């Protein structure tokens, strides 16, 4: 897979290097006329060629970006820093802060707090919690009605993994932490808990 994409990159790069050497790249206002094709036909062929080179340039940029991204993902996964489940990537920096600061850190990094919406995601977050052996705040909070919890974007929960007898805070524990066995506890929001974000 990697060697194939590397081959494609090299091949496309060679093509574009040639086009740059011949000064026939997209962005050059005019290409020389196509021999044997006079006037209007020549211009048509010229603009088709220009379009082709432009789309090749875009393809090369996209391939290069994909290649660099997959290498970055490989490095992060290898260091055990990320857990990927479906479309989601979970990650931690190992720091422990209160709920508001944890959410802020995740949002500053372009994500949000880790929010398990099924068992698989819960297990992925749990693996990070276990790695650091620290409880983590989840992207879940108590709604208007006490005892009723929702996602931080205000939508109702479609999956829960409460510890036995939880939630029990009755309005006094508005945040939710994950224990090191993956179960949840409603908890005051001012504790220091592991930052786990999702992207
Ligand atoms: C503490 C707090 C509560 C939790 C109980 C469980 O009092 O962490 O949130 O429900 O322990 O015994
Ligand atoms: Ca509780």
CA dist 58 and 167 (Å) reads 52
CA dist 75 and 153 (Å) reads 31
CA dist 134 and 29 (Å) reads 60
pLDDT of residue 83: 95
Identify the bridge partners of residue 102 per DSSP, sorted by sequence position: none
Q: Are 198 and 111 in contact (CB under 8 A)?
A: yes
Atom 8 in ligand 1: which residue has the minimum CA distance? 187
CA dist 80 and 93 (Å) reads 11
Tell me, in angstroms, the distance from the centre of ligand 2 to residue 110's CA. 30
Percent above pLDDT 90 for the chain: 74
- Residue 151's SS3 state is strand
From 175, 185, 186, give the residue whose CB has the most ligand 1 atoms within 8 Å, as the site to mutate: 185
- The whole-model pTM stands at 0.76
Atom 3 in ligand 1: which residue has the minimum CA distance? 187
* Burial (CB count within 10 angstroms: exposed 0-12, middle 13-18, buried 19+), residue 67: middle
CA dist 177 and 193 (Å) reads 8
pLDDT surpassing 70 at residue 114: yes
* Domain extent listing, the chain: 4-75, 80-198
Instruction: Give residue ranges with CB within 6 A of ligand 1.
Output: 166, 168-169, 173, 185-187
Atom 4 in ligand 1: which residue has the minimum CA distance? 185
From 146, 168, 180, give the residue whose CB has the most ligand 1 atoms within 8 Å, as the site to mutate: 168
Farthest CA pair distance, the chain: 85
Tell me, in angstroms, the distance from the centre of ligand 2 to residue 3's CA. 52
pLDDT of residue 36: 61
Residue with tokens 């819960």: 122
Residue with tokens 């093509």: 15
The CATH class given to the 80-198 domain equals alpha beta
The mean pLDDT value for 120-135 works out to 97
82-85/149-151 β-pairing: unpaired
Q: How far is CA 35 from the centre of its chain?
A: 49
Percent above pLDDT 70 for the chain: 81
């Amino acid at each position: 897979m990697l060697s194939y994409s590397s081959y494609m990159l090299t091949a496309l790069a060679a093509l574009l290097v040639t086009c740059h050497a011949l000064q026939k790249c997209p962005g050059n206002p005019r290409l020389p006329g196509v021999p044997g094709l006079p006037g209007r036909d020549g211009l048509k062929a010229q603009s088709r060629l220009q379009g082709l080179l432009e789309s090749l340039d875009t393809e090369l940029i996209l391939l290069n970006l994909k290649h660099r991204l997959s290498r970055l993902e490989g490095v992060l996964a290898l260091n055990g820093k990320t857990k990927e489940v479906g479309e989601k990537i979970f990650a931690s920096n190992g720091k422990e802060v209160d709920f508001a600061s944890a959410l802020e850190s995740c949002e500053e990094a372009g994500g949000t707090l880790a929010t398990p919406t099924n068992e698989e995601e819960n297990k992925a977050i749990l693996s990070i919690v276990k790695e650091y052996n620290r409880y983590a705040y989840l992207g879940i909070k108590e709604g208007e009605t006490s005892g009723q919890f929702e996602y931080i974007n205000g939508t109702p929960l479609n999956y829960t993994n409460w510890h036995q007898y939880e939630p029990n805070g009755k309005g006094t524990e508005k945040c939710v932490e994950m224990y090191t066995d993956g179960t949840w506890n409603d908890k005051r929001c001012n504790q220091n808990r592991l930052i786990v974000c999702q992207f």
